[in-house]
Amino acid sequence: MLEIKNLHARIGDKEILKGVNLTVPDGEIHAIMGPNGAGKSTLSYVLSGRDGYEVTQGEVFYNSQDVLALAPEDRAAAGIFLAFQYPVELPGVGNANFLRTAVNAVRRKRGEAEMDAVAFLKVARAAIKNLSMKEDFLKRNVNVGFSGGEKKRNEMLQMALLQPGLAILDETDSGLDIDALKIVADGVNALRSARFAALVITHYQRLLDYIVPDVVHVLVGGRIIRSGSAALALELEAHGYTGLEAA
């Protein structure tokens, strides 16, 4: 279970998050929607531990662990996975090597045995097949020369291999690419279980046609101003955020 309590964060002197409260129980998928500049991406980066964001107040717990005290790699080991909106390219780093290094780093921290190259390839090939990816994915450099859709698939492949308990999907403004949305949705839906939760961050309602959330939260001006069922997303799509901001 993820619990965010009165979270305040800023970049430099600019306060972006102004008291976010949010609880995502295991087994549920929550969506965060909001207008540009509401703090959606900031929230995802603060949760995953990126440098440059200063938390000035509040707490975040995941399965009773103090998330904000953990280094990014330890958050990953604790089961938190951030799917990047724009994954970086890593020239010179082979995808297979990268994936195995990541999986083994996480396994080591979780007290599990590391996988040798043969065992890993078996697991990776099975995951690749599930995601309808080509096998040469493993031989290419991480994200180098990948199309937008391929990059998303690679994110979902990493997610499948790292088996997180909580996925944070930053899809802030990728609402226009239907294929990419479907890839992300398939990746999340494949992991749905009583022990998996997801926080889907998006600007457009369209993604939520493919990942049906249990709860929708509306983030405006650094605060969650409304929460509701999936129907709330449709209402936002029809009427926009303007009415809510005034409220």
Applying CB under 8 A, which residues contact other proteins?
48-51, 71-73, 75-77, 81-82, 84, 87-88, 90-93, 98, 101-103, 105-106, 109, 158, 162
Neighbours of 121 (CB within 10 A): 16
* Shortest Å, Cβ 228 to other proteins: 30
**Looking at beta carbons only, is 110 or 195 nearer to other proteins?**
110
* Shortest Å, Cβ 150 to other proteins: 16
Q: How many CA atoms, within 13 angstroms, populate the side-chain half-sphere of residue 39?
A: 25
Q: How far apart are CA 53 and CA 45, in angstroms?
A: 8
**Looking at beta carbons only, is 81 or 137 nearer to other proteins?**
81
Angle among Cα 161, 163, 169 to the nearest 5 degrees reads 95
**Looking at beta carbons only, is 6 or 101 nearer to other proteins?**
101
- 14: Cβ contacts below 8 Å, ≥ 6 apart: none
* Shortest Å, Cβ 114 to other proteins: 12
**Looking at beta carbons only, is 68 or 244 nearer to other proteins?**
68
* Shortest Å, Cβ 190 to other proteins: 19
CB 30 within 8 A of CB 215: yes
**Looking at beta carbons only, is 85 or 205 nearer to other proteins?**
85
* Shortest Å, Cβ 71 to other proteins: 7
**Looking at beta carbons only, is 171 or 208 nearer to other proteins?**
171
Strand 90-94 and strand 54-62: the pairing is unpaired
Helix (H, G, I), strand (E, B) or coil at 113: coil
Q: Looking at beta carbons, which pairs linking 110-119 to residues 24 or more positions away fall under 8 Å?
A: 110/77
Q: Is the dihedral of CA 234, 187, 71, 12 positive or negative?
A: negative
* Shortest Å, Cβ 29 to other proteins: 20
